Structure 1
């Protein structure tokens, strides 16, 4: 390996670090929202899949109070849908960032 190869490797590693930092910022800034039951349950989640807010329509407490299992299912479905939306957003962001590098598709990201 000559000096030129080492310099290129250092540049590539520097670019990779910058991309990682950009992705971490993007994950922190990304916010998705998903609702179930016609808006009875709404979940807001960031790109790190942290639930930022869980909102349950007050009317659901009275009507779903008799069916707690239904309310639990709606909450689980909203959380899962928000997670899927985060995955889609991250995948889209990654493909945009990686596209400029000319790298082959990575398994699990396409």
Structure 2
């Protein structure tokens, strides 16, 4: 390996670090929303899969234990759907950043 190869490697590593920083920024700025139960539960999540907001419609509150179990199921479904949407948004974003490169495991 000669000095020009080392320079290229250094440039490549710098570019990779810059891309990682850009991706972290996009992860924090990407926001998705999902609902379940016809809008009874709404979850807003960022690209890091951090729940930013959980809204529960007042109509969801009932007087029986089965209502609570249903609400728990609706929350779980909304969080899972928001996670899938965050994955899809980030996959699309990464494909744009990579400029069409076909790198196994990244897209």
User: How far apart are residue 60 of structure 1 and its match?
Assistant: 1.1
User: 2:72 maps to what in 1?
Assistant: 72
User: 1:19 maps to what in 2?
Assistant: 19
Structure 1 pair 93/63, CA: closer, same or farther in 2 (3 Å)? farther
Taking structure 1 as the reference length, what is the TM-score of the superposition?
0.88
Deviations 1:47-91, CA, capped at 9 Å, x for gaps: 111111100000111377652111111000000000000000111
User: 1:50 maps to what in 2?
Assistant: 50
Range 36-45 or range 64-73, more displaced: 64-73
Give 3-state SS (helix, strand or coil) of 2:35's partner: strand
Q: Cα RMSD over matched residues?
A: 1.7
Structure 1 pair 63/42, CA: closer, same or farther in 2 (3 Å)? farther
Structure 1 CA distance, aligned partners of 2:12 and 2:64?
Answer: 55
The number of equivalent residue pairs is 107
**Could you tell me whether the CA contact under 8 Å between 1:41 and 1:57 is conserved in 2?**
yes
Structure 1 CA distance, aligned partners of 2:64 and 2:55?
Answer: 14
Structure 2 CA distance, aligned partners of 1:87 and 1:60?
Answer: 28
Q: After the TM superposition, which parts of structure 1 deviate over 4 Å for at least 4 consecutive aligned residues?
A: 63-66
User: 1:3 maps to what in 2?
Assistant: 3
